[in-house]
Structure formats: C-alpha cells, structure tokens
Structure 1
Amino acid sequence: MAIRELPVAITHWQGSQHPSLSTIMGIMKNEGLRPYMWSTLPNHRYGIRTHNYDKTLFVIDGTLEIHLPDSNKIVHLRSGDRITIPASVRHMTVVGATGAKCVEASIQRTRRRQ
C-alpha cells in the first residue's frame, strides 16, 4: 500500500485589521483544535525535523520562514498567516529579525480501516 503525502497548505491573512490572539484562538477552537501559544527570540533557527502528526500554525506577531527541503521551497509567513504541515513532511523554521509569537496545534489523523 502506497502512502500519499498531503501538500503543505498556506493561507495568507486577508483581514484588514491586525489579527488578534483571541481571533486566531477562536478560529482554531472552532475547528476543534487545542491551540497553544509560543514565542521566540529574533533570528532563532529550528533545525530540520518532522512530526508524527499534522501541525497547523498561525503567526500572531513577527515573521517566520518555513523551509521545506524536500520540495526546495521557502514559505514566508507574517501576522495572521497560517500553515498546515502534514505528518512526516521535513521542515525547518527561521524566525525573523523581530522575533515571533505563534499559535499552534497538532491534528491527529484517524486511520481508515481497510
């Protein structure tokens, strides 16, 4: 049985107002997610890694670069932008010059019975 990887999904903020923490938390909770907030210092780098769950992340403040080495892509995220990274997709993160505050949640995929 072949396992098909799902693509990384990116949604850029379309609102005219700066997204608030409560707005983003509300969106995620309405989707049944259990979000948590984290922040990090400017120019921090998180090495290449994978997860055994789908991960969705919103940037609240600051900027992130998400590097996807297997597809040779770099995704630039700023306030309000969202990325969902499927389980087992290799990625690394570079934090922008002003640091970043993000909200993130894991999404457990249920396996289909054969």
Structure 2
Amino acid sequence: MQVIRWQSALQPEEQALRKHMQQEGLAPYTWSNAPGDYYAAHTHSYQKVLYCVRGSIRFTLPDELDAAGQAVHIDLQPGDCLLLPPGVRHSAQVGLFGVTCLEAANYQSLQGMKMAQ
C-alpha cells in the first residue's frame, strides 16, 4: 500500500486529476459522500487508485497494526492519493465536511505509475 501526499500549495483540480489518471491508462469515476458516512470493512479483487478531491476520508486497515497494537488509519486530504493493493481489508469513514473522490480500478502493476502534483 502506498499513500502519496499532495505537495502543491495549490488546491487539486478534479479535471486535472482525472486527465492524469486517464493518461495512466485508468478509467476514473467520481463519487461523493456526506459527512460521517461509513463503509464497513471489505476488500477488492483489484488495485484501487483513489484521489481525494475535496473534503476528507479516513481509511482503517483492521488487519494491519501500528506499534501500539491498534489498527492503522490513513487520513486523506484534498490531492492525496491512496494506492490500495487487491485483498487488503479496509473500512472508510467520511470526514466532517463530506468527501469527493476520483477512483479507478487498476488491473496492472502500480509500479512506475506517475502521480499528479
């Protein structure tokens, strides 16, 4: 699993992120959720490529523990990208102001993928 943090001082633009994903051979789609929405733990059979466009979302990995023995949490803010391998169990909790994400399934290797900035 890999998290790439947005480094630019400028806010990410959905259209630019979409174009970047398409140039990488992905077929992104947009989804949004209201504040506090929750997805129970589940897995995917493909590699998930997800950009947070607006708002925030927290992914929890119940099968991966930190040094204190707690489930690992990954907080995404606008522009951050999550590369989630197939079979990794995760849940998600939408932040206080809702979230809009661009997501795509990648059936090929994520190695060498260029990330937008």
Q: TM-score, normalised by structure 1?
A: 0.87
Cα shift at 1:15? 1.1
Which string of whole-angstrom CA distances, capped at 9 and with x for unpartnered residues, describes residues 4-25 of structure 1? Answer: xxxx110000111100001110
2:28 match: 35
Alignment partners' CA distance in 1, 2:63 and 2:5 = 22
- State, as a whole percentage, how many aligned pairs show the same letter: 34
SS where residue 63 of structure 2 aligns? coil
2:43 match: 50
Alignment partners' CA distance in 2, 1:32 and 1:16 = 27
Alignment partners' CA distance in 2, 1:41 and 1:65 = 13
Which string of whole-angstrom CA distances, capped at 9 and with x for unpartnered residues, describes residues 40-85 of structure 1? Answer: 1100000000011110100000000000111121001000000011
Which string of whole-angstrom CA distances, capped at 9 and with x for unpartnered residues, describes residues 78-98 of structure 1? Answer: 000000110000000000010
1:87 aligns with 2:83: no
2:63 match: 70
Aligned-residue RMSD, C-alpha: 1.0
Cα shift at 1:30? 1.2
Cα shift at 1:109? 3.5
Alignment partners' CA distance in 2, 1:76 and 1:40 = 15
- Opposite residue 109 of structure 1, the aligned amino acid is Q
Which 4+ runs in 1 deviate beyond 6 A?
A: none
Q: Which consecutive residues of structure 1, in runs of 5 or more, have no partner in the other structure?
A: 1-7
| Bigger radius of gyration | 1
1:13 aligns with 2:12: no
